[in-house]
């Protein structure tokens, strides 16, 4: 049975719990992601953030609890089906093809909603439409000079930009980003963070991170996990001053 929808809340977890052979990895997590915001799910290593993310994106099934998308219960819905609803996970399902060009990668992604990656029988005008839309998406992520380069040739930060472009090709209402800033140098972090901010202008973003400082000026709301439970939640100004959060990050180099 679905609850009455709250238009302000687009994605919600209620009492979300995940056990692995008696070990409680996630315990009674209640999370509300507001429409049109960037919401970061963070925590030190072992905090349970990846497990929560995998539950929300349906790559894991909860032991107990409920997940709602736009008021609809999706707790038992398959990942492919929630993607069609507009809830799209990036950097996992949007893996790029290293030996295809940037343009070809985005065109393949645009063809996915049609039911198959390659429609050889489609009219030439349809393929031109995909080509034009692909160029628009490439421009949106600042990859126009790289359009003819293979994905394998791209520097690390630009590969992440390509992955965002292929995710945008699925026209998501909610983008779920799995550590989009991991492994980046300072310059790439700034550029990718700015890109995420830009593409979030007309959609909702939920991202997993372990580094509190890199989401400081990017996120509207930060949820901090520790040992599978929510430790604190709110804007960076509030969360970063929480004594329990400071303790959780003490000595990790991420506070």
Task: Show me where the domains of the chain are located.
Answer: 1-90+176-185+203-255, 95-169
- Strand (E) or helix (H) holding 177: strand 174-178
Instruction: Flag whether pLDDT at 125 surpasses 70.
Output: no
pLDDT for the residue 60 = 93
Average pLDDT over residues 26-33: 96
User: Which residues fall within 8 angstroms of residue 176, CB to CB, at 6 or more apart?
Assistant: 53, 56, 57, 87, 88, 89, 90, 205, 206, 207
The span from the CA of 190 to the CA of 181, in Å, is: 9
List own/partner pairs for 162-165 with CB under 8 A and 24 or more apart: 162/96, 162/102, 162/105, 162/106, 163/90, 163/91, 163/94, 163/95, 163/96, 164/90, 164/195, 164/196, 164/199, 165/102, 165/105, 165/106, 165/109, 165/137, 165/138, 165/140, 165/141
* Average pLDDT of the segment spanning 54-73: 94
**Structure letter (DSSP) for residue 135:** H
- Is residue 252 very low, low, confident or very high in pLDDT (cuts 50, 70, 90)? very low
CATH of 1-90+176-185+203-255, one of 3.40.50.2000, 3.40.50.300, 3.20.20.140, 3.90.650.10: 3.40.50.300
Q: Are 134 and 180 in contact (CB under 8 A)?
A: no
Question: Residue 188: is its pLDDT beyond 70?
Answer: yes
pLDDT at 255 over 80: no
Q: Is 89 exposed, middle or buried (CB count within 10 Å of its CB: 0-12, 13-18, 19+)?
A: buried
Q: Are 107 and 134 in contact (CB under 8 A)?
A: yes
- What integer pLDDT is reported at residue 5 of this predicted model? 54
pLDDT digits (tens, 9 = 90+) for 201-245: 889 999 998 878 888 889 999 999 999 999 999 999 999 889 988
Residue with tokens 């993607």: 83
Q: How many CA atoms lie within 13 A of 39 on its CB side?
A: 23
Residues paired with residue 230 on neighbouring β-strands, in sequence order: 225
Taking every pair of C-alpha atoms in the chain, what is the biggest distance, in angstroms? Answer: 61
Classify 28 as helix, strand or coil.
strand
């Amino acid at each position: 049975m679905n609850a009455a929808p709250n238009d302000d809340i687009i994605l919600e977890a209620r009492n979300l719990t995940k056990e692995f052979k008696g070990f409680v990895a996630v315990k009674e997590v209640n999370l509300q992601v507001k429409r049109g915001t960037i919401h970061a799910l963070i925590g030190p290593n072992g905090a349970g953030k990846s497990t929560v993310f995998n539950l929300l994106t349906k790559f894991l099934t909860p032991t107990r609890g409920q997940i709602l998308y736009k008021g609809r219960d999706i707790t038992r819905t398959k990942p492919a089906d929630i993607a069609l609803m507009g809830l799209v996970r990036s950097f996992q399902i949007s893996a790029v093809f290293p030996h295809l060009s940037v343009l070809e990668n985005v065109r393949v992604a645009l063809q996915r909603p049609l039911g198959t990656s390659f429609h050889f029988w489609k009219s030439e005008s349809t393929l031109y439409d995909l080509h034009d839309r692909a160029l628009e998406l490439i421009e949106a992520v600042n990859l126009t000079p790289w359009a003819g380069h293979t994905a394998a040739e791209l520097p690390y930060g630009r590969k992440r930009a390509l992955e965002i472009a292929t995710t945008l090709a699925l026209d998501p209402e909610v983008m779920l980003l799995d550590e989009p800033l991991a492994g980046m140098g300072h310059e790439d972090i700034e550029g990718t963070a700015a890109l995420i901010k830009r593409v979030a202008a007309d959609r909702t973003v939920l991202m997993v991170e372990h580094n509190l400082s890199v989401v400081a000026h990017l996120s509207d709301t930060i949820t901090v996990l520790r040992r599978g439970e929510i430790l604190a939640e709110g804007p960076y100004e509030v969360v970063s001053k929480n004594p329990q959060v400071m303790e959780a990050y003490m000595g990790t180099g991420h506070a």
